[in-house]
């Protein structure tokens, strides 16, 4: 019997077949590329952390040698995970708030921040320990928040005094080029270097990202991005929310 290609039945069957075929192909591609995607994410995280500790461009660190340099400057055996009170966890929180087996590098702070099912009290705060080019101890604290168009993130590197910012790196998913996207540029990052995260009595010193150009002359102030006010304020909010947790941990160490 001849098939009537003009019939509704034929069109419907063809559409279903096409959708199933394309869907199957995409699913197979996603499964096949998952290991490579996971690896790319791992390398990107390594580069972000290294960028807070070092001038990666000067040291010619890129995806090809990120893992080698990460092992050289970061000691994952000393990395820890904190709760929102700055207390050390013996593992990591799962989505239900149970402490399960896991390590600091396993924590996906972007996924946790985005997940509406996760209670904010049960977010994990990784802390990485390493050394700078002179062999001095540094501490790297990952940050996560919201910009104008999507998530923003960063890493703040403290020196051995657990107080002075020695470096930073910032990233974003969809901020406007030439405006909010400028948080990745050195002129913005350099504004954080030398700042303290606590006052003389070890109280947390909240930051203000300002647009009046007073950041270079005032403590706890960083000059924001011209035309990128919302993104700048997003950096301010995520820095203060996350750094306060780490300050609690460092203060506990100093008083022991």
| pLDDT tens-place values along the chain, 256 residues long | 455 555 666 676 777 887 888 777 777 766 675 666 778 899 999 999 999 999 999 889 999 999 999 999 999 999 999 999 999 999 999 999 999 999 999 999 999 999 999 999 999 999 999 999 999 999 999 999 999 999 999 999 999 999 999 999 999 999 999 999 999 999 999 999 999 999 988 899 999 999 988 888 888 999 999 999 999 999 999 999 999 999 999 998 876 6
Judge contact between 49 and 71, C-beta under 8 A: no
Q: Residue 81: beta bridge partners?
A: 126
Per-residue confidence (pLDDT) for residue 25, from 0 to 100 = 75
Residue 250 lies inside a defined structural domain of this protein: yes
State whether residue 170 is helix, strand or coil.
strand
Q: Which residues contact 15 (CB under 8 A, 6 or more apart)?
A: none
Element containing residue 17 per DSSP (H, E)? helix 8-53
Phi first, then psi: give them for residue 150, nearest 5 degrees: 175, -165
Residue 174 lies inside a defined structural domain of this protein: yes
- Of 125, 156, 161, nearest in space to 222 by CA: 156
Residue 20 lies inside a defined structural domain of this protein: no
Per-residue confidence (pLDDT) for residue 58, from 0 to 100 = 86
User: What would you report as the CA-atom Rg of the chain, rounded to the nearest whole angstrom?
Assistant: 23
Per-residue confidence (pLDDT) for residue 164, from 0 to 100 = 97
Judge contact between 47 and 64, C-beta under 8 A: no
- Of 151, 149, 165, nearest in space to 207 by CA: 165
Residue 185 lies inside a defined structural domain of this protein: yes
Residue 31 lies inside a defined structural domain of this protein: no
Per-residue confidence (pLDDT) for residue 87, from 0 to 100 = 96
Q: Give per-residue burial for 144-160: e unless 16+ CB within 10 Å, then b.
A: bbbbbeebbbbbbbbbe
Compute CA 239 distance to the chain's CA centroid, rounded to the nearest angstrom. Answer: 11
Domain residues for the domain of 129 are 74-254
Residue 187 lies inside a defined structural domain of this protein: yes
Residue 34 lies inside a defined structural domain of this protein: no
Residue 238 lies inside a defined structural domain of this protein: yes
Q: Which residues contact 120 (CB under 8 A, 6 or more apart)?
A: 84
The number of distinct structural domains making up the chain is 1
Compute CA 99 distance to the chain's CA centroid, rounded to the nearest angstrom. Answer: 21
State whether residue 131 is helix, strand or coil.
strand
pTM score? 0.85
């Amino acid at each position: 019997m001849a098939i009537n290609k003009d019939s509704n039945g034929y069109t419907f069957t063809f559409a279903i077949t096409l959708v199933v075929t394309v869907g199957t192909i995409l699913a197979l591609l996603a499964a096949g590329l998952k290991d490579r995607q996971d690896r790319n994410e791992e390398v990107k995280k390594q580069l972000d952390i290294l960028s807070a500790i070092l001038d990666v461009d000067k040291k010619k660190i890129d995806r090809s040698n990120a893992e080698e340099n990460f092992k050289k400057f970061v000691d994952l055996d000393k990395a820890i995970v904190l709760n929102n009170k700055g207390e050390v966890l013996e593992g990591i929180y799962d989505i239900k708030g149970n402490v399960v087996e896991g390590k600091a590098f396993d924590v996906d702070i972007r996924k946790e921040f985005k997940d509406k099912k996760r209670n904010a009290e049960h977010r994990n705060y990784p802390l990485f320990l390493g050394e700078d080019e002179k062999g001095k101890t540094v501490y790297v604290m990952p940050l996560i928040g919201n910009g104008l168009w999507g998530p923003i993130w960063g890493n703040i590197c403290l020196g051995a005094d657990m107080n002075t910012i020695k470096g930073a790196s910032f990233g974003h998913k969809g901020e406007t080029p030439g405006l909010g996207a400028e948080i990745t540029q050195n002129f913005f990052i350099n504004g954080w270097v030398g700042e303290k995260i606590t006052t003389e009595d070890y109280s947390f010193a909240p930051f203000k990202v300002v647009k009046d150009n007073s950041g270079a002359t005032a403590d706890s102030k960083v000059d924001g991005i011209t035309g990128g006010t919302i993104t700048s304020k997003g950096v301010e909010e995520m820095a203060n929310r996350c750094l306060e947790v780490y300050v609690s941990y460092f203060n506990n160490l100093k008083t022991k």
